[in-house]
């Protein structure tokens, strides 16, 4: 019996090893919205290639939840169907990023907008006894010498009034949430924001499940809505990374892709321009993905040059000198500013 067990175990290991070797690097992992990387000598590389990987992960998740553990893969369930993510943040990283923002303000008029995460804003939907311990981050960002737009109270108020400002299964703001941010930026940037009645709101997808839902291996059926306005189809959106150019603000083909949030301008790329060609003021928008759904609102007032430092390989400082921008808006999620040393690219 012992020999049979050993032979069976060896045969199973051999089969798994062959499956790992034969699994191509371009295999798509639906639950994680990514392709597996090339084969390397690491636990992650091998686990990515295991047969029935998704089913095994579901079993692992179900066991964890049955044992009373509410967290899985860095995400956890809250109230009213919301899923949250635990992100690694550091006060030191935040201070370092803000210091680079201060340096940029010596080159160009700089405005700072920090977007709260769901754990910052959806306090009433967090699990009982959950403490995010993030108050100090907001105290530090509020003291930054740039023109700071304090959007946290606005988003908090909207969330407490039951407004759909965050997707339940994704960390991003909804278009409505971005509208509140747009309204709050009007005083700082000096434009007259349009009221909600100046937009036509339409739902373009009803079964969106974003990054937080994928971590928990579940679906949330979020709705993606667009705030359209007369003349937005005359705008030209140009992706300077890929060379792609299209009329309007939205890439509707992304709605049937693996990343429906990519319908908004500037998804996962270094530089995008949105122009109307009528000699409008040009605003430099330096942002992470929170800027994607904010850009359509700002594009009603400005031609936009959108830079995402996570993907942009050039110097933002040199770009400013070359294009004679007068104003820059830095718009990042708190998890980005306090979790990644990202703004050092602005000055080099």
Q: Where are the domains of the chain?
A: 2-77, 90-347
Which pLDDT belongs to residue 207? 94
Which pLDDT belongs to residue 39? 55
Tens of pLDDT along 160-177?
899 999 999 999 999 999
Measured at the alpha carbon of residue 153, what is the angle toward residues 148 and 155, in degrees to the nearest 5? 100
- The answer for residues whose C-beta is within 8 angstroms of residue 316's C-beta and 6 or more apart is 104, 284, 286, 307, 309, 345, 346, 347
pTM assigned to the model: 0.86
With 0-12 CB in 10 A as exposed, 13-18 as middle and 19+ as buried, what is 178?
buried
Percent of the chain with pLDDT over 70: 83
The 8-class DSSP code of residue 287 comes to: E
Please state the φ and ψ torsions of residue 169, each to the nearest 5 degrees.
Answer: -115, 20
Largest CA distance in the chain: 83
Tens of pLDDT along 232-268?
999 999 999 999 999 999 999 999 988 899 999 988 8
Handedness of CA 87, 93, 98, 103 (dihedral sign): negative
Average pLDDT over residues 82-89: 91
Q: What is the average pLDDT score of the chain?
A: 85
Which pLDDT belongs to residue 32? 58
- Asked if residues 48 and 30 have their Cβ atoms less than 8 Å apart, the reply is no
Which pLDDT belongs to residue 44? 56
């Amino acid at each position: 019996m012992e020999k049979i067990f050993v032979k069976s175990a060896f045969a199973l290991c051999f089969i798994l090893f062959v499956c790992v070797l034969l699994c191509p690097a371009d295999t798509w992992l639906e639950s994680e919205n990514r392709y597996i990387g090339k084969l390397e000598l690491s636990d992650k590389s091998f686990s990515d290639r295991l047969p029935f990987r998704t089913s095994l992960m579901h079993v692992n998740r179900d066991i964890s939840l049955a044992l009373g553990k509410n967290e899985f893969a860095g995400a956890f369930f809250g109230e009213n169907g919301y899923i949250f993510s635990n992100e690694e943040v550091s006060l030191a990283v935040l201070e370092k990023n803000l210091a680079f923002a201060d340096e940029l303000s010596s080159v160009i008029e700089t405005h700072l907008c920090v977007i709260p995460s769901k754990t910052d804003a959806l306090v009433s939907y967090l699990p009982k006894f959950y403490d995010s311990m993030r108050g100090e981050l907001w105290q530090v960002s509020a003291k930054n010498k740039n023109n700071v737009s304090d959007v946290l109270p606005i988003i908090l108020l909207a969330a407490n009034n039951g407004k759909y400002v965050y997707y339940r299964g994704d960390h991003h703001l909804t278009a409505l949430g971005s509208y509140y941010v747009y309204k709050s930026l009007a005083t700082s940037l000096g434009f007259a924001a349009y009221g909600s009645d100046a937009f036509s709101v339409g739902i373009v997808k009803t079964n969106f499940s974003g990054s937080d839902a994928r971590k928990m291996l579940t679906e949330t059926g979020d709705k993606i809505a667009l705030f359209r306005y007369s003349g937005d189809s005359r705008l030209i959106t140009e992706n300077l990374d890929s060379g792609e150019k299209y009329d309007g603000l939205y890439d509707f083909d992304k709605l049937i892709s693996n990343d429906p949030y990519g319908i908004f301008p500037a998804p996962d790329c270094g530089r995008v321009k949105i122009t109307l060609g009528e000699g409008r003021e040009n605003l430099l928008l330096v942002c992470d993905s929170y800027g994607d759904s904010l850009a359509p609102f700002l594009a009603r007032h400005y031609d936009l040059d959108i830079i995402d430092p996570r993907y942009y390989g050039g110097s933002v400082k040199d770009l400013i000198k070359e294009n004679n921008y007068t104003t820059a808006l830095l718009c990042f999620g708190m998890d980005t500013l306090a979790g990644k040393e990202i703004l050092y690219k602005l000055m080099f």
